[in-house]
Structure 1
Amino acid sequence: MTHFQKFTGLAALVPLALAGVATPALAAETAAPAAPGITDGLAQMLLGLAVVLGLLLGSLWLIKKLSAPHGAAAGLKVLGAVPVGPRERVVLVEVGGAVLVLGVTPSNVRTLHTLPAEALQGTTPPDAPSVSGPFGDFQGWLKRSMERRNDAK
């Protein structure tokens, strides 16, 4: 083999080396990008979080606006309800300046009594126990039971 043939063989490898194919070290340098830092995507992440929170708050506002009563139902206010049977209850509803006592069953609603709204103001004495459910004042009952138990020891 002559020097000329060796030179032309090496000359054929030069474009491949420049392209990064011939030498593994050169290929490793071009293929491995630098590892991203922790702050590189921080602004993008915060912007995405702000968009999601904005959509959430906007959806909540829209639901509140759409669920608000309109027309005649805007003046109604349910003051309370007491069950009197498995499917029956007595409901106090304030409409304008009047309070209606309604009997509600699965098949109908009847007006039992009508009161002026001022008649219900201050009707409960301040020392009366609060009724927290259909079974009365559970918190007061439990406190009295614990006191009796401690006194018995």
Structure 2
Amino acid sequence: MTVLRFIPLVLLLAASPPLTAAEAPPDVAGSIGQMVFGLAVVIGLLLAGLWLIKRLSVARGALTGLKVLGAVPVGPRERVVLVEIAGKVLVLGVTSASVRTLHILSADESANLVGPGDPGKAGGDFPGWLRRAMERRNDAR
């Protein structure tokens, strides 16, 4: 008689439709795996884009022909910078608030800046040149 008690339960289970995909319990491991894979793809695309931008970008100053020859600090936030552009050499005073042109040299005058330690390189003795130029300026007054 005990077997007869379970017959309605067996018939009920047999008559119920099977579980569909929407009713199936979620696969947590598969979901996490998909999420990690998607994140890796997005990070990979970002890194590839950054690398491509770096490779295709033009170097700073290369387009304009600007070349920094030397710099000398004259204060905590001030410096004098020697810059070559279009065959001329500019002596610039650079502060945290502004940049001013102090002097413009031609290519002939800039050749005098070659120091004994750096033959053939303009700006080799820039601190010495600046000192001499300041002395000449003070003597002229």
Please say whether Structure 1 and Structure 2 have the same fold, judged by a TM-score greater than 0.5. no
Q: TM-score range by the shorter chain?
A: 0.3 to 0.5
TM-score (ref. length: structure 1): 0.42
TM-score (ref. length: structure 2): 0.45
Q: Which has the greater radius of gyration? A: 1
